[in-house]
Amino acid sequence: MSKNVSAVKDFTKGLWEQNAVFKQVLGMCPTLAVTVSAINGIAMALATTFVLVFSSMIISLIRKLIPTQVRIASYILIIATFVTIVDLVMKALFPELSKALGPYIPLIVVNCLILGRQEAFSSKNGVFRSVLDALGMGAGFLLALFMLGGVREILGSRTLLGFQVLPNLYEPWLVMILPAGAFLTLGLLMAYFNNREINKKTKQREAILQKHLSSKQSPAVEGGEA
């Protein structure tokens, strides 16, 4: 039973608790560069997840064979192999998408998110848990990229996934699809989530305080009644 719980935890922690973009600030280059539209963000996140899952699998399989001194180089080589596969497949099947993402697909090789997971998780855990961890991290990355791409696409070109969502009356903010828009949107989103967390924590603290106070008060009240 406890094994099941920890397996679920391996997956879900990447979704939000340790979200790569919002919480760990990893993998920023693709996050900021390709999120001009939601569809680009999704494609990028899926490609990254593919590379992450397969390299996590291979690395956790051979983790005992890799000497520690050359581990980083071996990880990067394995990652680069899968990135080459993704790049060739995308060029063949989705030429337009591949063109839109441009050099950012090969740059998955140096995405710190992937190397970070190998170093922190796959090199220490079994295949099953590593794959779950990679899937969770990938899903969290997808969530973040979709959010960022969605906001920028709606405000910058009135559409979401290619469908118009805002009326023509609305004048698109050009800045949103420019590089500056990426920085500003991510900064504001991050501040929003920080704010929510701070509010939640203060509420929790107040609740504990209230409980404490009322438990102190109640015997006195009872005493008064008696």
Partner 1 sequence: MELFLIFLSAAIVNNFVLAYFLGICPFIGVSSKLSSAVSMGMATTFVMTITSIVTWLIYHMILIPFNLEFLQYVSFILVIASLVQFVEMFIKKVSQPLYRALGIFLPLITTNCAILGLALFIILREYTFIEGIFYGLGAGAGFTLAISIMAGIREELDLADVPKPFQGAAITLIVAGILALAFMGFSGMISV
Binder of partner 1 out of 39, 83, 90, 154 (CB under 8 A) = 83
Residue 182 interacts with partner 1 (CB under 8 A): yes or no = yes
Q: What is the 3-state secondary structure (H, E, C) of the chain?
A: CHHHHHHHHHHHHHHCCCCCCCCCCCCHHHHHHHCCCHHHHHHHHHHHHHHHHHHHHHHHHCCCCCCHHHHHHHHHHHHHHHHHHHHHHHHHHCHHHHHHHHHHCHHHHHCHHHHHHHHHHHCCCCHHHHHHHHHHHHHHHHHHHHHHHHHHHHHHHCEECCEECCCCCCCCCHHHHCHHHHHHHHHHHHHHHHHHHHHHHHHHHHHHHHHHHHHHHHHHHHHHHC
Nearer to partner 1, 112 or 166 (CB): 112
To partner 1, the closest distance from the beta carbon of 188 in angstroms equals: 7
Residues 79 and 146: their CA atoms lie apart, in Å, by 23
Nearer to partner 1, 8 or 89 (CB): 89
Residue 95 interacts with partner 1 (CB under 8 A): yes or no = no
Residue 110 interacts with partner 1 (CB under 8 A): yes or no = yes
- Find the binding residues for partner 1 in span 18-47 (CB under 8 A): 25-26, 28-29, 32-33
CA dist 44 to 18, 20, 134, Å? Answer: 20, 14, 15
Residue 127 interacts with partner 1 (CB under 8 A): yes or no = no
Interacting span for partner 1 (CB under 8 A) from 6-14, 74-82, 146-154, 207-215: 74-82
Residue 100 interacts with partner 1 (CB under 8 A): yes or no = no
To partner 1, the closest distance from the beta carbon of 156 in angstroms equals: 14
- The site that binds partner 1 (CB under 8 A) totals a number of residues, namely 41
Interacting span for partner 1 (CB under 8 A) from 38-46, 124-132, 180-188, 209-217: 180-188
Interacting span for partner 1 (CB under 8 A) from 11-19, 82-90, 133-141, 144-152: 82-90
Residue 191 interacts with partner 1 (CB under 8 A): yes or no = yes
Residues 80 and 138: their CA atoms lie apart, in Å, by 17
Binder of partner 1 out of 61, 77, 89, 165 (CB under 8 A) = 77
Tell me which residues touch partner 1 (CB under 8 A): 25-26, 28-29, 32-33, 72-73, 76-77, 80-81, 83-84, 87-88, 103, 106-107, 109-112, 115, 175, 178-184, 186-188, 190-192, 194-195, 198
